[in-house]
Amino acid sequence: MTLKVFEAFSGVGSQAMALRDLGIDYEVVATSDWDYHATLSYNAIHTDNPIDYAKDIEINEIVEYLFKLKISSDGKKPMTLEQIKRLPNQKKQDIYNSFINTNNLGSIMEFTSDTIPDHDFFTYSFPCQDISISGKGEGFDEGSGTRSGLLWECKKIIEVKKPKFLLLENVKPLVGKKHQLNFNRWCNWLENQGYTNYWKILNAKDYGVPQNRERVFMISVLGPHEEFIFPSHEPSNRRLKDVLEKEVEEKFYISDEAAENLLKKSNNPEAVMQDKSMLGMDGYVRGYDVYSPTITAREYKEPRLVQVGQLFQTDSFGGNPQAGRVYDAEGVSPTLNTMQGGNRQPKVILPAIGASRGRPSESGKYEQHLEINRGEASNTLTGVLKDNYVINQNYRIRKLTPLECWRLMDFNDEDFYKAQKVCSNSQLYKQAGNSIVKAVLMAIFRQMFFEQRGNGKGGISND
């Protein structure tokens, strides 16, 4: 029986990628995402429809249609009518075709429940900006108007269509003290709709991907079912170096002068870390022989990471911004973000990777002043254009390429090349950081849709 899926906040379709690669019989009956760049990538990756729907439609009609969907060029605000009109006609037609092809309903705030197709599986990886510690912390109160508050728009879909399965994904602070009340309120609402909820924090590095990316996943199941059990860890020896391209364009390398300034201090990485003039911090440095501070209380071991230097001074993030960090390719990648803005991809030194974030805690104090981790996983990818640098054996430093960032999300190279045809590098970086690691989704879906305990019923469904 075909699994009918509705991907809300769909991005480039990581959920569909996971279902596809597992060989599950599925059909995406609808998507919802106002970011037209992401929709162009989604269409390129997931559809094989050569029909030009825009061919016989007047440009003015296309403009009105896109305006009604409240499409966005930056994922932050809808485009005005004038902004849409200024797009090249071919671009408008391409965007129109991509929304039609993917049955993208546009902004989740704009469509009504009567336009939503019936479906079995609803996925909602809603925006994290107002929940993440690195964001503005505006929260996601119902009716607040924040981007993270779009979660509550999902109610109109769930209460009317009652899909059998739901999948929520978001950043770790969603279940922290600051947002616990709203999270519990959401869970209680789902329970009142007849769902049973199962949630857990999973880290990509525990599922064969060299990126240190912790995310909350919640599976909700309607009615009677077999108890859901989250997948166990799948340890791997993969490291950042395993996703690096053998040859990259010159434009990804930084200047020799900037590299030389770092290398002068990099013979002893710990000494570099304790240089206050370089860090622009209070000199409070934690040298960890085994774990980073954010992992100490965890029940599992983490590949140790090391940040080997800082390219320039800044007051951002406590004086230690991701924009200037250099990591070792023998390690695990830091968390990828959307990498938007100048010089913002995470940076590494070959062969070793580091992960350090000077981010404020929920109390407002900086917890991750500096983490020295000797290990082999990437930090979390996000959607901010933070330059990831690698130093090769000749000690040249370069940014991680968009392809390398997509690999750190466990995306296939073939999917990347399809998206590359329709999007710029800056959008490809952003799309990687905004996505869900495919390997984690595949592990979850195996538990959901295949046999869990040999009971012959296959996964958690009793149907």
In sequence order, the 6+-apart residues with CB closer than 8 A to the CB of 116 are: 6, 30, 105, 157, 160, 161
Same domain, 139 and 251: no
Same domain, 188 and 296: no
Q: Which of 357, 376, 400 is the last residue of a domain?
A: 400
The answer to whether position 164 is within a domain reads yes
Same domain, 260 and 182: no
For 28, phi then psi, to 5°, come to: -80, 110
- State the total domains in the chain: 2
Same domain, 218 and 253: no
Same domain, 8 and 141: yes
Same domain, 148 and 260: no
The answer to whether position 56 is within a domain reads no
Same domain, 170 and 256: no
The answer to whether position 250 is within a domain reads yes
CATH number, domain with residue 208 = 3.40.50.150
The answer to whether position 409 is within a domain reads no
pLDDT of residue 135: 60
Q: Which of 206, 222, 238 is the last residue of a domain?
A: 222
The answer to whether position 80 is within a domain reads no
Same domain, 23 and 162: yes
Asked whether the beta carbons of 338 and 383 are under 8 A apart, the reply is: yes
Same domain, 298 and 184: no
Q: Which of 400, 418, 448 is the last residue of a domain?
A: 400
Same domain, 107 and 178: yes
Asked whether the beta carbons of 50 and 27 are under 8 A apart, the reply is: no
Active site residues: 128
Tally of CB atoms within 10 A around 270? 12
The answer to whether position 229 is within a domain reads no
* pLDDT tens, residue by residue, 75-114: 999 999 999 999 999 999 999 999 999 999 999 888 888 8
Whole-model pTM? 0.79
Asked whether the beta carbons of 306 and 331 are under 8 A apart, the reply is: yes
Q: Whose CA is closest to 251, among 69, 399, 52, 414?
A: 399
Same domain, 185 and 252: no
pLDDT of residue 416: 98
Asked whether the beta carbons of 222 and 195 are under 8 A apart, the reply is: yes
pLDDT of residue 143: 72
Same domain, 176 and 323: no
The answer to whether position 279 is within a domain reads yes
* pLDDT tens, residue by residue, 269-325: 433 322 222 222 222 222 222 222 221 222 222 333 333 444 444 444 444 445 455
Place of tokens 């859901």: 228
Residues spanned by the domain of 156: 3-47+102-222
The answer to whether position 87 is within a domain reads no
Tens-digit pLDDT profile for the chain (463 aa)?
Answer: 899 999 999 999 999 999 999 999 999 999 999 999 999 999 999 998 889 999 999 999 999 999 999 999 999 999 999 999 999 999 999 999 999 999 999 998 888 888 899 999 999 987 787 677 666 667 666 777 777 768 888 899 999 999 999 999 999 988 888 888 889 999 999 999 999 999 999 999 999 999 999 999 999 999 999 999 999 998 788 888 899 998 888 888 877 777 667 666 555 443 332 222 222 222 222 222 222 222 122 222 233 333 344 444 444 444 444 545 555 666 676 777 766 655 566 565 543 333 333 444 555 444 433 333 334 566 666 665 544 555 444 456 788 999 999 999 999 999 999 999 999 999 999 999 999 999 999 999 999 998 654 444 446 754 5
3-state secondary structure of 456: coil
